[in-house]
Amino acid sequence: MISILQISIPCPLRFNFDYLSDQSLTHWQAGLRVRVSFGSRELIGIVISCKEIDDTVDTSKLKPILECLDQQPIIPADLLSLTHWLSDYYHHPLGDCFQTVLPKKIRHGEALDLQMETVWKSSQKQLKIKIGKKQQQILDLLTENNDGVVQSELYLQLGQCRSSLISLEEKQLIEQFQQIKKPSITHSMSTPCQLNQEQQLAVNTVWDSYENFTPYLLQGITGSGKTEVYIELAEKAVKEGKQVLILIPEIGLTTQFVTRFRQRLAVNIVVLNSSISDGERKQSWLLAKEGLADVIIGTRSAVFTPLKDIGLIIIDEEHDASYKQQDGLRYHARNVALIRAKRAHIPIVLGSATPSLESLYHVEQKRFQRLELNKRATGATLPKIHLIDSAGPKADNGVSSILYKAIQKQLDADNQVLLFINRRGFAPVLMCHECNWQATCSHCDAKMIVHQGRNTLCCHHCGLIQRLPSQCPQCQAPNLNTYGAGTEQIELSLQRYFPDTPVLRIDRDSTQRVNAFADIVADIRKGGAKILVGTQMLAKGHDFHDVTLVGVLDADQGLLSADFRATENLAQLIIQVTGRSGRGEKPGEVFIQTSQPQHEFWRDLIKQGYNYSANKLLEERKLIAMPPAAYLTIIRAEDKQEQLAMQFLTDVHALLTQHQQEVIVMGPVPAIMEKRAGRFRAQLLLTCSQRKPIHQLLDHSINAISSLKLSRKVRWSIDIDPLDLM
Ligand code: ADP
Ligand code: ZN
Ligand code: ZN
């Protein structure tokens, strides 16, 4: 008998490919990896389905499978069906979905064996001979640790001691064996704190729905002890023999967060973030799959970790935009996690001090249950917020003199100060006063940003770098002026103003080196840096006890932006940065510099708080029929040739509106920044009060869209539930 297999191939085409196998059906299962020839290349595909055929079927055009790589499917059934769901929901080619779901080494066909490591163990023999000092140290350590000590750990504690180990082994005083390599378990545990009433209620409520799908929104003000709640819940689930998946946003947060878990739970905790190697990723993936990892902590893509026995999912800072992938498969990890929890019949906890309007809407619709933590766990009070009119007196470079005085006061008291400005570089504008020339990017509709330290102009959209001109390139006037200020300039001004105080800048430029961020955070905690100037990177989650003043220098961007989520994001940012101040014993204060201190946004947020502002925004969204009260999809297109993207989307528009009116199709319009990285961009917006009609429309039209002549020429993509419309 001959079988035909449907294989998902890593390519942008929206269908699977048929291949022949001379093995019977019983040999084949969905989720096996196979090597096949595809065009002129050999690729690794995934078996999706198979059927047996008889001799009457013409198979002359089909190619054979070259090799089957696995005995058992590499993807557990639940993950396989989740990948199908991804492909359906996000209208993204299945083969490409596997590229996101599977770690690189697995995709590239590596075997599924776990890495092993050497462990040394004392053989408990009486010591009758005299041994050297190093050997004695080893023996002492191994006698203390009955189960043995991993070789790399021995080297870490005692230095390289291979020859001593061998000689002890020859004397039969110690022996070695191999075990599966796992992350080490901390021995210096911290004592758990007694949960307060609110925390205990949260833990109990979630635990009551253990083994049921129930989504919870854990809304707790910054410092209210959400992390303690996660730890307690994780501990309970692990005790039941379950695995816990914890998602955290994609910034330097991991170390601090993981350390707290490691110090509290003596279990196998694996970490999946962007800084681990492909080898580590594969090992962690396998440990999770085999049920050998108890707690999995990771950023966005960790939501695809295979789990043998999942008991609980936690998403920290659920409002964070980094949970949405902005290219390729544009999934939202919160969304995917909800689907996983639902299918696995387990509770899912979404934690935040500033929940997304999506989650608040779900609470309102009774789809999520809200749990509240309203007090700071340490008893610290929330800081007072002051608005400063940016039109008022300035000391230097756009920093108000009121703010300078307030900073001085905190420095005199030996406290730390945190200043936010969401713009990297020295200045966003370079121009000539004589002829009005401005430094703009030749590939984008954007200005070049001045980076003085590196003596360059840099485009933050396409990465183009040029030397900083010393005179006007157009009229050769000798002086060019900069306008506006970024982190680099604020850092310099502050350093000039407070010459004896260490100033530290934290942005993407100053943290490029691996671990740079972790080092900086360590330095801040030690109190080495007194003034910290940074972008939003610093706003999230960090617990710096000596920070008593937080300043926000460019709060207006959020009030002026064309993006419909800008005010929501500004409210979240302000509350998050407010949470960075006064976390220790000393009370904190917050200064916000704005050109619109009278704006009702500020009055609402400061006087009435986040919930009030968020509810008001939610009512607005309902009125204008925008998410979460309605559903959006964007079809984007871009091409080097002007007008082609617009032309393609005009054709798509015609297709989409041919037979229906339920889904409103708006556009196409050029993107707000039409030209980026040398391509002209345009977009089409689909909206509907229901989710389903959009998906049905896309299901119906996708093949026709893919067959449009221009669809092979322009780059295009579908963004379901887009986060920004720009
Ligand atoms: P969040 O995650 O909500 O910002 P954390 O869990 O980081 O809050 O807690 C803030 C601080 O309060 C931490 O230093 C933590 O150790 C402490 N903390 C949390 N819960 C308690 C408690 N029940 N008793 C005493 N201190 C607590
Ligand atoms: Zn000029
Ligand atoms: Zn550019």
Q: What is the DSSP string of 567-580?
A: HHHHHHHHHHHHTT
Q: Which residues of 319-335 are buried (b: 16+ CB within 10 A; e: fewer)?
A: bbbbbbbeeebbbbbbb
The first and second tokens of residue 564, run together, are: 């419909």
Q: What digits encode the pLDDT tens for the residues 29-67? A: 999 999 999 989 999 999 999 887 777 777 778 898 899
Identify the domain boundary among 592, 619, 646: 619
Beta-strand pair 456-458/174-180: unpaired
**Ligand 1: nearest atom to the Cα of 227:** 6
**Ligand 1: nearest atom to the Cα of 199:** 23
Is 191 contained in some domain? Answer: no
Among 371, 378, 546, residue to substitute to test ligand 1 (most atoms within 8 Å of Cβ)? 378
Q: What digits encode the pLDDT tens for the residues 369-411? A: 999 999 887 777 778 889 998 887 775 667 888 999 999 999 9
What is the DSSP-derived secondary structure letter of residue 510? T
CB 66 within 8 A of CB 34: yes
Q: What digits encode the pLDDT tens for the residues 131-144? A: 888 888 888 888 88
Instruction: Work out how many domains the chain is built from and give that number.
Output: 5
Q: What is the DSSP string of 275-323?
A: TS-HHHHHHHHHHHHTT--SEEEESGGGGG---SSEEEEEETTTT-GGG
507: left (phi over 0), alpha (psi -120 to 50) or beta: beta
Q: What digits encode the pLDDT tens for the residues 327-342? A: 999 999 999 999 999 9
What is the DSSP-derived secondary structure letter of residue 190? P
CA of 430 to the centre of ligand 2 (A): 11
The H or E element containing residue 399 is strand 399-400
**Ligand 1: nearest atom to the Cα of 229:** 6
Beta bridge partners of 598: none
* Residue 316 CB–ligand 1 contact under 6 Å: no
Q: Tell me how crowded residue 443 is: count the other CB atoms within 10 A of its CB.
A: 16
Name which of 628, 639, 649, 630 is nearest 718 in CA terms: 649
CATH value at residue 409: 3.40.50.300
Is the domain of 246 the same as that of 352?
Answer: yes
Average pLDDT over residues 454-463: 94
Is the domain of 174 the same as that of 282?
Answer: no
Is the domain of 72 the same as that of 215?
Answer: no
What are the start-end ranges of the H helices in 102-211? 104-107, 133-144, 151-158, 162-170, 197-208
Is the domain of 505 the same as that of 543?
Answer: yes
Is the domain of 141 the same as that of 257?
Answer: no
**Ligand 1: nearest atom to the Cα of 222:** 4
- Residue found by looking up tokens 């893919």 in the block: 706
Q: Which domain holds residue 286?
A: 197-373
Q: Which residue has the higher pLDDT, 506 or 351?
A: 351
Identify the domain boundary among 587, 619, 651: 619
Is the domain of 244 the same as that of 267?
Answer: yes
pLDDT higher than 80, residue 348:
yes
* Residue 267 CB–ligand 1 contact under 6 Å: no
* Residue 354 CB–ligand 1 contact under 6 Å: no
Identify the domain boundary among 107, 128, 152: 107
Is 726 contained in some domain? Answer: no
Is the domain of 659 the same as that of 598?
Answer: no
Among 228, 261, 264, 375, residue to substitute to test ligand 1 (most atoms within 8 Å of Cβ)? 228
Average pLDDT over residues 153-176: 86
Is the domain of 239 the same as that of 363?
Answer: yes
pLDDT, position 252: 61
CA of 446 to the centre of ligand 2 (A): 19
Q: What digits encode the pLDDT tens for the residues 282-320? A: 999 999 999 999 999 999 999 999 999 999 999 999 999
Is 465 contained in some domain? Answer: no
Is the domain of 253 the same as that of 144?
Answer: no
What is the DSSP-derived secondary structure letter of residue 483? E
Q: CA–CA separation, 449 vs 441, rounded Å?
A: 9
Show the CA angle centred on residue 19, arms to residues 14 and 24, nearest 5°.
130
CATH value at residue 669: 3.30.70.360
* Residue 199 CB–ligand 1 contact under 6 Å: yes
* Residue 228 CB–ligand 1 contact under 6 Å: yes
CB 106 within 8 A of CB 137: no
Is the domain of 497 the same as that of 565?
Answer: yes
Nearest ligand atom owner, CA of 474: 2
Measure CA 323 to chain center.
5
**Ligand 1: nearest atom to the Cα of 228:** 6
Is 231 contained in some domain? Answer: yes
Is 437 contained in some domain? Answer: no
Nearest ligand atom owner, CA of 380: 1
Is the domain of 416 the same as that of 275?
Answer: no
CATH value at residue 90: 3.40.1440.60
Is the domain of 531 the same as that of 647?
Answer: no
- For ion ligand 3, residues whose CB falls within 5 Å: 441, 443-444, 459, 461-462, 464
User: Going by CA atoms, what residue is nearest to atom 6 of ligand 1?
Assistant: 225
Q: What digits encode the pLDDT tens for the residues 235-281? A: 999 999 999 999 999 766 677 888 899 999 989 999 998 888 999 99
Is 440 contained in some domain? Answer: no
Is 477 contained in some domain? Answer: no
CA of 445 to the centre of ligand 3 (A): 7
pLDDT higher than 70, residue 657:
yes
* Residue 253 CB–ligand 1 contact under 6 Å: no
* Residue 584 CB–ligand 1 contact under 6 Å: no
* Residue 225 CB–ligand 1 contact under 6 Å: yes
Q: CA–CA separation, 555 vs 83, rounded Å?
A: 40
Range with the lowest mean pLDDT among 77-86, 506-515, 538-547, 551-560?
538-547
Average pLDDT over residues 613-629: 94
- pTM, whole model, 2 decimals? 0.91
**Ligand 1: nearest atom to the Cα of 353:** 3
Q: CA–CA separation, 74 vs 95, rounded Å?
A: 15
Q: What digits encode the pLDDT tens for the residues 659-705? A: 888 999 998 999 989 999 999 999 999 999 999 999 999 999 999 99
The first and second tokens of residue 329, run together, are: 């498969």
CATH value at residue 153: 1.10.10
Is 187 contained in some domain? Answer: no
